[in-house]
Amino acid sequence: MLFGGITVALSQIILELLKGLGVSVEIFAITLLFSLPLGLLVAFGRMSKNGVVSGLTKAYISIMRGTPLMLQLFVVYYGPYYLCHIKLSPTYRNSAVYIGFIINYAAYFAEIYRSGIQSMPVGQYEAADILGYSRVQSFFRIILPQVMKRILPSITNEVITLVKDTSLAFSISVMEMFTKAKALSSSQTSMTPLIVAGVFYYVFNFIVAFLMERIEKKMNYYK
């Protein structure tokens, strides 16, 4: 009976955490979907010859990288009300998480893109010009694939960090996996929910690392 009771309790914990895991995966996927292309745009701005554009993007990157993600989530979520007295619906909570994560990670990805682009030899651009490619064609057909190969390890590190950072959504009460685990642990006065959550995070990270490694092997073509 005791063993059966423990099994039932563990099953309930796992089911509840799986619901939270779904929210964590959603935050992860949406952040990557929008922050990767946004980061490339920010990198272009950072490398712009226009001093105003370059200065603004440099300031944006500095602020995003120099302040805690949790603070940024607070600003995005509470800012509209405290600064502009705009009342937002409860559903804005999830949108605030997406916005906070996207603008934060875009800044990190921008610097990774910039380092990769600036590391490319000038001869690559000259060769593309001789072949008759326009600047846009040169970048997207020749330069960017090689840049992606070079920066993939750094991108992988950020992606793995993102998996763990999704737990920061608890700061504005979004019911992702860590929030669920914390609530269950408190109500049951047990560490079991937190341990199970830790296992889920590890498996999530393991899968992400495995997929990124496969992508890196496929891109060995660009060596």
pLDDT tens column, 101-114: 999 999 999 999 99
Least reliable range by pLDDT among 60-74, 88-102, 136-150:
136-150
Closest by CA to 91, choosing from 180, 172, 28, 18, is 172
What average pLDDT does the segment 8-24 reach?
85
CA distances from 199 to 18, 37, 72, 165, 195 (A): 12, 31, 28, 15, 6
Give me the residue spans of the domains in the chain: 2-222
d(C-alpha 67, C-alpha 196), whole Å = 30
d(C-alpha 129, C-alpha 205), whole Å = 42
Buried b (16+ CB within 10 A) or exposed e, 16-32: bbeebbebbeebbebbb
**Enclosing H/E stretch for 157:** helix 144-165
d(C-alpha 33, C-alpha 90), whole Å = 24
Most confident of 122-126, 151-155, 170-174: 151-155
Amino acid residing at 194:
L
Average pLDDT, the chain: 87
What average pLDDT does the segment 40-67 reach?
95
Provide the token pair at 117: 């682009």
Q: What is the DSSP string of 107-124?
A: HHHHHHHHHHHHTS-HHH
The confidence score (pLDDT) of residue 5 equals: 43
CATH architecture of 2-222: Orthogonal Bundle (1.10)
The confidence score (pLDDT) of residue 204 equals: 93
Q: What is the DSSP string of 174-217?
A: ---HHHHHHHHHHHHT-SHHHHHHHHHHHHHHHHHHHHHHHHHH
